[in-house]
Amino acid sequence: MPLPPPRERSGFRHPVDDLLVDLLTVYNDIDRFAKFTAERIRQELDRRPAPFAVAVVAAVVAGALLSWLLLALALAVGAVLSVGLRRYRSLRARAGCVPVRVLPGGRLQVLLIRSRKHPESYIFPAGGVEPGESPAQAAARETVEEAGVTGSLGRSLGEVVDAKSRTVVYALHVDAELERWQEDWRPREWFDLGVPGSPGAKQAASRVQRALLPKPVVQETYRRLEAAAAELAKEGEQAEQRVRNAGTPPTSRDSSRRRAKKAS
């Protein structure tokens, strides 16, 4: 009996959803083939001489057995994936940002905040996705609340999954630093990453890694930042150019860039 099509789900769609739909399609195709096979056997037994009919029936039965074997394999794979998907959906949905800025000369910097539970270490701003929010909206909101910065969202750095949560991470090209924000009791600090691809970038990266909380989701987020550093630096320079071309009045970004230049 054919299975009904899956109901549409709102929100984030995981790639496994598409694979399960494909498996369901295979099942329904094989179900139709089985009915066709039974009808074909009946017709051949009625129309053909006995020896020929037996040969045709044997070939059709062999094909049907192979199809059912493939069906069993597909259903087994689908069951395993279904368990994994249910486990994935039970994880807490989170989103966060990697706030970055580009200084003159192409030096990339990243903004980190102190961890609540481990104040000796730094983390990236992130938190839970509220009902009705998209991951991008949640990432921007959490970054304002925890780090006190705003800007334009850049590329997605993907989803980081651990035992308790799944966190969608975006780059944020900072254009303003607030003087007061919701969690301003948590220190924030800019860390220099150097010019991506330069010899000094490796030394800068090691300093940042030592400052980060040794939690898998934090370390994996930094690994993705490091891998995309060159592209993020280009994106930041393009964002700066768009602001200049638009003739936007100076913001706190300008003053923060001047402070960063003096500190360096």
Q: Are 228 and 154 in contact (CB under 8 A)?
A: no
pLDDT reported for residue 17: 63
pLDDT reported for residue 244: 72
Q: What residue has token string 């989170």? A: 94
Question: How many alpha carbons lie under 13 Å from residue 218 in its C-beta half-sphere?
Answer: 18
Q: Three-state DSSP class for 94?
A: strand
Distances (CA, A) of 25 to 6, 18, 28, 43, 74: 10, 11, 5, 27, 11
pLDDT reported for residue 14: 56
Distance CA 209, CA 106 (A): 21
pLDDT reported for residue 167: 96
Distance CA 8, CA 229 (A): 37
Q: Report the b/e string of 164-196 with b at 16+ CB within 10 A.
A: eebbbbbbbbbbebeeebebeebebebbbbbbb
**Which residues are registered as beta bridge partners of 191?**
110
Q: Computed from CA positions of residues 103, 105, 106, 109, in that sequence, does the dihedral angle turn out positive or negative? A: negative
Ranges of H-type helices in the chain: 15-47, 50-90, 135-147, 199-211, 216-227, 229-246, 252-263
- pLDDT digits (tens), the chain, 264 positions: 444 444 444 444 555 566 666 666 766 776 677 677 667 666 666 666 656 656 666 666 676 677 767 777 776 776 666 666 677 678 899 999 999 999 988 899 999 999 999 999 999 999 999 999 999 999 999 999 999 999 999 999 999 998 899 999 999 999 999 999 999 999 999 999 999 989 889 889 999 999 999 999 999 999 999 999 999 998 888 877 776 777 655 444 544 554 454 444
Closest Cα to residue 251, out of 141, 174, 142?
174
CA dihedral 135, 20, 80, 16 (to 10 degrees): -30
Q: What are the catalytic residues?
A: 145
pLDDT reported for residue 258: 47
Ranges of H-type helices in 7-118: 15-47, 50-90
Distance CA 227, CA 184 (A): 30
Distance CA 151, CA 252 (A): 11
At residue 112, what are phi and psi to the nearest 5 degrees?
-120, 160
